[in-house]
Every structure is written in structure tokens, then in C-alpha cells.
Amino acid sequence: MESVALTREVTFSSGHRFWLDHLSAAENLTLFGAYASRFNHGHNYRLQVTIDGQVDPMTGMVVNIKLLDELLQDNVVDKFHLKSLNDEVAVLKGKVPTLEVLLHVVRNLIAEPDGRVLLNSSSPQNCQVTLQRLRCFEMPDLWADWTENMMTLTRSYEFAAAHRLHVAGLSHDENVKLFGKCNNQNGHGHNYVVEVTVTGQMDENTGMIIDLVQLDRLVESEIVEKLDHKNLDVDVPELLGRPTTSENIVAFIDKVLQEKLGKALVGVRLFETARNSFEISHG
């Protein structure tokens, strides 16, 4: 039988700070930029744990989900919930509790080095359950993913823009047939959301795989400022002469970011609406 992946989510609320006491204020500012502060701030974290295993022919389950809940409650939630991650969580002492660091720590708290999940059960079947992926949301627009092969960080950004789907080489009737009401002569608009996913080696000092301040500045200046509150058909030189479909828009965004980020860019995903998304992946 094929293996089946199961994802379970838990939540916890914790405080943390981006500040190293052995460094000066100027050194902390250099490392953490706008996020540097000697005082805590808090987040409502969402942790998604994906495990993989064979379906037990008797129970019809990959694992008894109660066992997974017990593991996550005992090893993660009880340790992190309503705590200062810098001060009250022993496994994080001396570390900057970024999303990247949190996922590394959680991985070691719930799985063996070979990936077997540490379930409290004597059933041989449960020994075959392995950790496939971790995802943790610090905020709705910022999350990280861990797998054995890669750590990624995803940040989402918004811009509002108008456009009209139209091909100059087609007749009026052909355009209407192809694009329907999206060919409206005076255009229409969307609140676009673009997700940018990056990877890299974790910096031992900051606990980050990328400078988030620099990433925000890059996307804001190269993407959001160019597209926000613009008519995509006339205000964006790179899109002139092409239908401003989301396919063409996401290709433009990806090209710009790939030129700036290189191999650090894992992918770009563009939401035109909550129901339509378009993605280019390099991972």
C-alpha cells in the first residue's frame, strides 16, 4: 500500500526578542535592523506537522492521532506556550528564536535523527512513521518550512492594480469570447497577493536564512512600488504589449526577483483572487 501523509496543527502563544545581550546596541542594530529590541514582543504561532507512513490494515490509520497530539502537547506546546522563548525555554537558551531556529528545535524534540517520530507507543507500526515537513506561521504573512533537504522562509506582500485582458491582434468579438467580462473596455481591478519563498544557510549569529529587512526592502521597491495602484496595461513598461494575465505578471515578478536573489529564490506565487493562484518554482 502507498504511504499516506498526515498533517496536524497546534498553536501556541509566545514572546521573543531579536537581541543578543553580549553585543552592544549598535551591534544588535547591525544584525537585526528594524527588528532589534531588548524588549519582547509576542506572536500567536501556528505549527503544522506532517508525518508519513503506511496505513495500518486493521485500524485504517497512519497513526492514532491521539498519540500525535500527546507528542506535540508534551514536547512543543507545554514547553513554548505563554513563555518567553529567549528566557524560559531551556532548548532555546543562547539562541535567537527565529522561525528557522524554532523549526530546527521542534524537529529534534519530536523525531529521532533518522526521522522516526517519537510517539509514545509500543506498536511496531508506529515506528515506521517519519517526519516529512514542518511549517510554522509567525504571522499570516510570514512563515517557514522545514524538510530534511531544505529550510525556506515565505513572506507575502499585497498590491492593488487595474488591468484589462485584451489582445490587440484579435477582434472585439474574439476578445470578448476569450476573456469575457475581463475584457471590459474600462478595465477592472484586483487586490493581488504575492508570496516570495527563499532559502539559504542559517546565519549562526542571527538564526536567519536571509535578512528579512533587506528582503522586504527589495520586494517593496522592485515589485510593490512598481505595481501598486497602477494600471498594469499602461504604467508598467515591462508588461507593455502583452496581455496582463496573472501568468505574465508572476513571470515578471519572478524574473526581477531572480535577478536580485539568484539561487536564494525558491519560488513566487501570485494570488489574483482567493480562488486563483499562479506559481513559478525553482526548488
Q: Is 135 exposed, middle or buried (0-12, 13-18, 19+ CB in 10 A)?
A: buried
Per the listing, cell 513559478 goes with 280
Residue in 27, 229, 259, 279 annotated catalytic: 229
Cell of 121: 507507543
- In the DSSP assignment, the letter for residue 181 is G
Give, in order, the Cα–Cα distances in Å from 63 to each of 49, 59, 134: 13, 9, 17
For the chain, strand residue ranges (E) read: 4-16, 41-53, 83-84, 130-139, 142-146, 151-163, 188-199, 230-231, 265-273, 276-281
Looking at residues 78-91, what average pLDDT do you find? 97
Cell of 88: 524560559
pLDDT value of position 128: 76
pLDDT value of position 120: 79
**CA pair distance 4, 105, nearest whole angstrom:** 25
pLDDT value of position 261: 98
CB 97 within 8 A of CB 28: no
Instruction: Give 120-169 pLDDT, tens digit per residue.
Output: 765 555 457 999 999 999 999 999 999 999 999 999 999 999 999 999 99
Residue 229 known to be catalytic: yes
Residue 127 known to be catalytic: no
**CA pair distance 279, 72, nearest whole angstrom:** 32
Residue in 182, 195, 238, 282 annotated catalytic: 182
pLDDT value of position 121: 65
**CA pair distance 12, 280, nearest whole angstrom:** 32
pTM over 0.75: yes
Per the listing, cell 506535540 goes with 72
State percent of the chain over pLDDT 90: 90
Residue 182 known to be catalytic: yes
Instruction: Give 200-238 pLDDT, tens digit per residue.
Output: 999 998 999 999 999 999 999 999 999 999 999 999 999
**Could you tell me the pLDDT band of residue 269, with boundaries at 50, 70 and 90?**
very high
**Could you give the domains of the chain?**
4-146 (3.30.479.10), 151-281 (3.30.479.10)
- In the three-class reduction of DSSP (H, G, I as helix; E, B as strand; rest coil), residue 222 is classed as helix
